[in-house]
């Protein structure tokens, strides 16, 4: 695991730092008057005059003590900037995850228990369409329909400008209204994949001997499906959540750009484009670690639920 | 009995029985033909600016409307299809070649080579693709070639994993052991004996990968980091659709539909090929 952790930091650091044009250049290019001397001073300030391995060692040493440094853009602590953006992105992702589970599990069960039925065919088609729909296009269409054409939902930001004048309930419903479209669009892609996954797992489990045994001893179909099959089918489903993390992060970047939401995705997007190393690394490396941890937990989860894996 | 040929024709037979796969194949073919013959089908010059007909909705003279410079949306979409498909095919080609090389070596030699390659795969899978793509594009400046290369360099992990698994299961088989016994060089065993027998899963991942690459390209162009205007690609058309969403829905709706149809086609076809190749599905 340690080599992977190091590899993640080296690769992201390398991609960010080895590029020509650091933050000094990004800031100076806009002012033609900046002298070579000032440029050099700024490079020194950012440590860009040091060789690569030294820069990396300095950064890693600080990172180990959870010191992410300051953002170049405004000199504020990276940690503060992240903590202030995190709740918005988390809220949207958790709500959409809840929506996905709420809809995908029943759909998955129904298509598995009634394989090749009309509902199963319909949901299979929906799955393929869900996989193939560009999320930002769906967002645009919904913005047009709900925001422009019917004018029932706000189309960008996380609350209205005059929010301070509202009562508590007014504020709540205002914020909820702003969340509807982003949450729905975030959930859409995951819905397809997740219901497919539940369906396939259910089909796999339903073919097992213990299901036949359960039926043979005269248990009702409901007990067989919900008690014997579903529990075993959902176990591996839980592990897939860890694997979905990088997709969620990437999705958030695009989603927040379309809906103008000041969250982590937007922060990362700006940080990478303005070559704000500290900020970009401060978001990226923890995200990558979480993903790796998710993969690791998924492996442990498999070993826990499937004793055959443990033998390897 | 010629086993290889009968397997291929059997697979094709099963593929043709799968209704969704046939639909997918038709969609893929349709988009392919429309894009190849874009110059013939396009009713207008895709870059001809017509100030008198700015942002005109769909009509008989402009079937899918015009954009903010009066250019014909249908013509731009047909030409844009060429760019999007080109990016998809080349990016997947790059990813597949890298994956084949690394996966073959890892699976064939095992040991520290294998674990090094697999750690590299783990690292690449942990970092969100969009970040790597964004960072590299920000360095290299957006251009069609750079986008193809970047998408290729960030999506070789799946083919590498697949081909490695094939190598591990094939390298102990009798025909490989026999080839080694008569003194064939490693490179010959890899290229002539193992690789051709392990290509089936790669076919599936490449087919679906084309759809994935088209989606990434469109997302990048949509964010303004992909194909640059005035060159049309479906993503860059959507990007200008976003700017005019309040007055011209057709600028957003149709290019996105084209992406959806194309990606859907490749996904259906890929899934169909997977089922047709899977002996368990044949009964």
Average pLDDT, consecutive stretches of 10 residues, N- to C-terminus, chain B (283 residues): 65 83 93 89 79 78 79 88 93 96 92 92 85 78 86 92 90 88 88 86 91 91 83 87 83 91 94 81 54
Chain B residues 206-265 within an 8 A CB cutoff of chain A:
211, 215, 218-219, 222-223, 238, 241-242, 245-246, 249, 252-253, 255-256, 259-260, 263-264
> Is B1 within the bounds of a domain?
no
| Lookup: tokens for A256 | 């927040």
8 Å CB contact between A256 and A263: yes
How much of chain A, in percent, has pLDDT values that exceed 70?
84
> Which residues, 6+ apart, have CB-to-CB distance to A294 below 8 Å?
A241, A242, A243, A244, A245
Chain A residues 248-267 within an 8 A CB cutoff of chain B:
249-250, 253-254, 257-258
Query: In this predicted complex, what is the ipTM?
Result: 0.85
> Is B82 within the bounds of a domain?
yes
pLDDT at residue B4 in the model = 55
**Residue among B131, B235, B271 with most chain A CBs within 10 A, to mutate:** B131
Task: Kindly report the backbone phi and psi dihedral angles of residue B180, in degrees, each rounded to the nearest multiple of 5, phi listed first.
Answer: -70, -40
CATH number of domain containing B143: 1.10.3720.10
> Is B275 within the bounds of a domain?
no
> Is B8 within the bounds of a domain?
no
**Sequence-ordered alpha helix ranges (H) in chain A:** 2-17, 23-28, 36-46, 52-64, 78-113, 118-132, 135-142, 168-206, 209-216, 221-223, 230-243, 245-259, 264-273, 277-305, 307-310
> Which residues, 6+ apart, have CB-to-CB distance to B79 below 8 Å?
B38, B42, B46, B232
**Residue among A134, A200, A259 with most chain B CBs within 10 A, to mutate:** A134
Distance CA A271, CA A47 (A): 18
The average pLDDT across A290-299 equals: 79
pLDDT tens by residue, A62-101: 888 888 888 877 778 888 888 888 888 888 888 988 898 8
- Neighbouring C-alpha atoms within 13 Å toward the C-beta of A271: 28
Distance CA B207, CA A155 (A): 36
pLDDT at residue A312 in the model = 46
> Is B162 within the bounds of a domain?
yes
**How many Å from the N-terminal Cα to the C-terminal Cα in chain B?**
22
Distance CA A126, CA A110 (A): 14
Domain that holds residue B207: 39-263
> Is B31 within the bounds of a domain?
no
Interface contact B271, partner A, CB < 8 A? yes
Q: Give B251's contacts in chain A (Cβ within 8 Å).
A: none
CB contact under 8 A, B131 and A295: no
pLDDT at residue B283 in the model = 47
Considering CB atoms only, which of B119, B256, B267 is closest to A134? B256
CB contact under 8 A, A134 and B215: yes
Distance CA B115, CA B229 (A): 44
Strand, helix or coil for residue A73: coil
CB contact under 8 A, A4 and B126: yes
Say whether pLDDT at A309 is over 60: no
**What pTM value is reported for the model?**
0.86
Q: Which residue of A has its CA nearest to B20?
A: A125
What is the number of domains present in chain B? 1
How far from B271 is each of A91, B155, B160, CA to CA, in Å?
34, 19, 19
> Is B94 within the bounds of a domain?
yes
> Is B61 within the bounds of a domain?
yes
């Amino acid at each position: 695991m340690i080599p992977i952790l190091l590899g993640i930091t080296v690769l992201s650091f390398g991609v960010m730092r080895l590029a020509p044009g650091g933050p000094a250049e990004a800031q100076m290019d806009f002012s033609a008057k900046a002298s070579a001397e000032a440029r050099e001073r700024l490079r020194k300030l950012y440590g860009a005059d040091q060789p690569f391995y030294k820069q990396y060692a300095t950064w890693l040493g600080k990172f180990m003590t959870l010191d992410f440094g300051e953002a170049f853009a405004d000199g504020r602590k990276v940690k503060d900037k992240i903590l202030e953006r995190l709740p918005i992105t988390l809220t949207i992702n958790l709500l959409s995850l809840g929506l996905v589970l709420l809809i995908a599990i029943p759909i998955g069960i129904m298509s598995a228990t009634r394989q090749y039925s009309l509902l199963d065919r319909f949901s299979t088609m929906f799955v393929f369409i869900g996989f193939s729909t560009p999320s930002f296009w769906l967002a645009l269409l919904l913005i047009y329909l709900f925001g422009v054409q019917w004018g029932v939902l706000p189309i960008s930001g996380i609350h209205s400008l005059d929010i301070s004048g509202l009562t508590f309930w007014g504020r709540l419903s205002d914020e909820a209204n702003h969340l509807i479209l982003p949450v729905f669009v975030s959930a859409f892609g995951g819905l397809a994949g997740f219901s497919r996954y539940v369906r396939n797992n259910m089909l796999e489990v339903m073919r097992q001997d213990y299901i036949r045994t359960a039926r043979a001893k005269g248990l009702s179909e409901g007990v067989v499906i919900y008690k014997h099959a579903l529990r075993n089918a959902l176990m591996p489903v839980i592990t897939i959540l860890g694997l979905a993390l990088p997709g969620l992060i990437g999705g958030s970047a695009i989603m927040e750009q379309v809906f103008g939401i000041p969250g982590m995705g937007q922060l990362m997007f700006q940080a990478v484009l303005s070559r704000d190393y500290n900020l970009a690394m401060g978001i990226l490396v923890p995200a990558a670690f979480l993903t790796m941890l998710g993969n690791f937990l998924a492996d442990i989860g498999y070993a826990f639920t499937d004793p055959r894996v443990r033998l390897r | 009995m010629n086993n290889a040929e009968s397997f291929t024709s059997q697979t094709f037979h099963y593929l043709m029985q799968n209704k969704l796969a046939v639909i997918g194949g038709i969609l893929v073919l349709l988009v392919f033909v429309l894009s190849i013959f874009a110059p013939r089908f396009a009713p207008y010059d895709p870059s001809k600016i017509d100030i008198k007909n700015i942002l005109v909705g769909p009509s008989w003279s402009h079937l899918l409307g015009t954009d903010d410079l009066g250019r014909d949306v249908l013509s731009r979409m047909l030409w844009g299809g060429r760019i999007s498909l080109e990016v998809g095919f080349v990016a997947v080609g790059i990813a597949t070649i890298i994956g084949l090389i690394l996966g073959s070596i890892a699976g064939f030699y095992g040991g520290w080579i294998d674990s090094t390659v697999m750690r590299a795969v783990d690292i690449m899978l942990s970092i969100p693709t969009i970040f790597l793509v964004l960072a590299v594009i920000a360095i290299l400046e957006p251009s069609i070639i750079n986008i193809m290369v970047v998408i290729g360099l960030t999506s070789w992990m799946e083919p590498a994993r697949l081909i490695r698994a094939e190598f591990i299961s094939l390298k102990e088989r009798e025909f490989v052991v026999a080839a080694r016994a008569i003194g064939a060089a490693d490179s010959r065993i890899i290229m002539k004996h193992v690789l051709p027998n392990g290509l089936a899963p790669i076919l599936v991942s490449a087919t679906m990968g084309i759809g994935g690459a088209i989606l990434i390209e469109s997302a990048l162009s949509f964010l303004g980091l992909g194909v640059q205007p005035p060159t049309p690609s479906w993503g860059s058309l959507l990007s200008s659709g976003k700017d005019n969403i309040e007055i011209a829905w057709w600028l957003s709706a149709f290019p996105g539909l084209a992406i959806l149809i194309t990606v859907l086609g490749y996904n259906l076809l890929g899934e169909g090929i997977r089922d047709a190749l899977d002996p368990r599905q044949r009964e």
